[in-house]
């Protein structure tokens, strides 16, 4: 055993000797770092915003870094570490990063911080916030759902009603009732953004209660809702949000989807276009969200197009 320990210790010493001179001076001008709450391969906003940053890096030739799966306990430490390394823009991807970004932003006034998927800048001049317009997405989804229901019962399914999802729910409900005030609406939480089984069971429970249009706002768990409506034998259809359900989940019962352009948001954040210390909500005008049509009736498509122009013209009052 002593021999093995000696060999392994020697290897460890060699490792440290070899690695000694690895540091080098790097130009940090325009450099961007992104901290992600999940994996950069999650097929949701972590992945797409990260890909947006990569596109910015290849187009603008800027240095980038990322740290995925950042836990609550290590947020401040990781963000501070990136600030110490001299990254000029640091993006916190997710609502849980707000407090930690603000803590480090106070310590590094010359570094710019972006609270992504949030709207609070904490009153700091070097902190900006950016998100896509959940309100506009909810409204367009509501118009699609109102033109898809036969039973007059529509349901929204989400992981947890954070501030953004609550805003989406309210504008979705407003759109439903703008089209038909008698539509019955419910909204439920599954408490999990990626558990497809939970989402599948929740969707089936709603279908059993007569809800014939489901509006999921989920990450990977959206596949569960898509499977439930596809399996319902035409009892229910789906109006997607965040992702294009027909394409991403091969959902045959999708009437349409309101997609979020996370990649575009990540690109804008990384190119430094949002570092003005303000809160940015990127909606249709900024290409933050788009409406995709699958099985929606021509009447429904026309209604959504009208809603889009009314929203752009400011004729529809929804909070953003």
Query: Which residues lie near another protein (CB under 8 A)?
Result: 1, 4-5, 8-9, 11-12, 14-16, 18-20, 22-23, 33, 39, 65-74, 76-78, 80-82, 84-85, 94-96, 98-100, 107, 117-120, 160-164, 166, 191
Run of H or E residues at 13: helix 2-19
Nearer to another protein, 278 or 306 (CB): 278
Nearer to another protein, 79 or 303 (CB): 79
Measured from the CB of residue 262, what is the shortest distance to another protein in angstroms? 16
Measured from the CB of residue 207, what is the shortest distance to another protein in angstroms? 26
Measured from the CB of residue 192, what is the shortest distance to another protein in angstroms? 10
Measured from the CB of residue 110, what is the shortest distance to another protein in angstroms? 14
Of 108, 122, 94, 85, the C-alpha closest to 36 is 94
Return the DSSP state at 277: S
d(CA 217, CA 60): 33
Nearer to another protein, 8 or 208 (CB): 8
Asked if residue 254 lies in contact with residue 294, where contact means CB atoms within 8 angstroms, the answer is yes
Of 73, 66, 110, 111, the C-alpha closest to 92 is 66
Nearer to another protein, 53 or 117 (CB): 117
Measured from the CB of residue 163, what is the shortest distance to another protein in angstroms? 5
Measured from the CB of residue 193, what is the shortest distance to another protein in angstroms? 12
Nearer to another protein, 35 or 303 (CB): 35
d(CA 84, CA 43): 30
Nearer to another protein, 118 or 141 (CB): 118
Measured from the CB of residue 40, what is the shortest distance to another protein in angstroms? 9
For 80-122, the DSSP string reads HHHHHTT-SEEEEESGGGHHHHHHHHHH-TTSEEEEET----T
Measured from the CB of residue 198, what is the shortest distance to another protein in angstroms? 13
d(CA 51, CA 57): 10
d(CA 47, CA 72): 19
Is the four-CA dihedral 268, 270, 273, 277 of positive or negative sign?
Answer: positive
**295 C-beta neighbours (distance < 10 Å), count:** 14
CA dihedral 75, 80, 82, 83 (to 10 degrees): 140
Question: In 3-state terms, what secondary structure has residue 279?
Answer: strand
Nearer to another protein, 135 or 232 (CB): 135
- By residue count, the chain amounts to 320
Nearer to another protein, 149 or 167 (CB): 167
């Amino acid at each position: 055993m002593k021999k093995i320990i000696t060999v392994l210790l020697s290897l460890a010493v060699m490792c440290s000797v070899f690695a000694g001179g690895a540091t080098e001076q790097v130009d940090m001008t325009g450099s961007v770092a992104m901290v992600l709450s999940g994996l950069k391969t999650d097929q949701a906003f972590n992945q797409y915003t990260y890909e947006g940053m990569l596109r910015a890096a290849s187009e603008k030739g800027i240095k980038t870094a990322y740290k995925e799966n950042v836990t609550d306990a290590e947020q401040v430490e990781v963000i501070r570490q990136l600030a110490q390394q001299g990254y000029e823009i640091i993006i916190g991807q997710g609502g849980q990063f707000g407090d930690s970004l603000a803590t480090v932003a106070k310590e590094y006034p010359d570094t710019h911080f972006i609270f992504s998927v949030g709207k609070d800048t904490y009153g700091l001049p070097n902190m900006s916030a950016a998100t896509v317009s959940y309100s506009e997405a909810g409204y367009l989804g509501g118009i699609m759902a109102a033109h898809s229901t036969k039973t007059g019962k529509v349901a929204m399914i989400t992981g947890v009603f954070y501030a953004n999802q609550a805003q989406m729910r309210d504008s979705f409900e407003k759109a439903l009732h703008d089209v038909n005030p008698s539509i019955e609406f419910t909204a439920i939480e599954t408490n999990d953004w990626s558990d497809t089984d939970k989402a599948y069971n929740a969707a089936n429970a709603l279908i059993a209660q007569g809800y014939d249009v489901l509006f999921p706002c989920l990450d990977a768990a959206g596949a569960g809702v898509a499977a439930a409506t596809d399996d319902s034998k035409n009892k229910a259809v789906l109006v997607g949000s965040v992702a294009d359900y027909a394409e991403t989940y091969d959902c045959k019962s999708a009437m349409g989807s309101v997609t979020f352009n996370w990649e575009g948001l990540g690109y804008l954040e990384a190119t430094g276009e949002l570092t003005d210390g303000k809160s940015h909500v990127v909606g249709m005008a900024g290409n933050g969200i788009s409406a995709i049509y699958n099985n929606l009736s021509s009447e429904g498509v026309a209604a959504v197009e009208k809603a889009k122009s009314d929203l752009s013209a400011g004729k529809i009052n929804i909070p953003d």
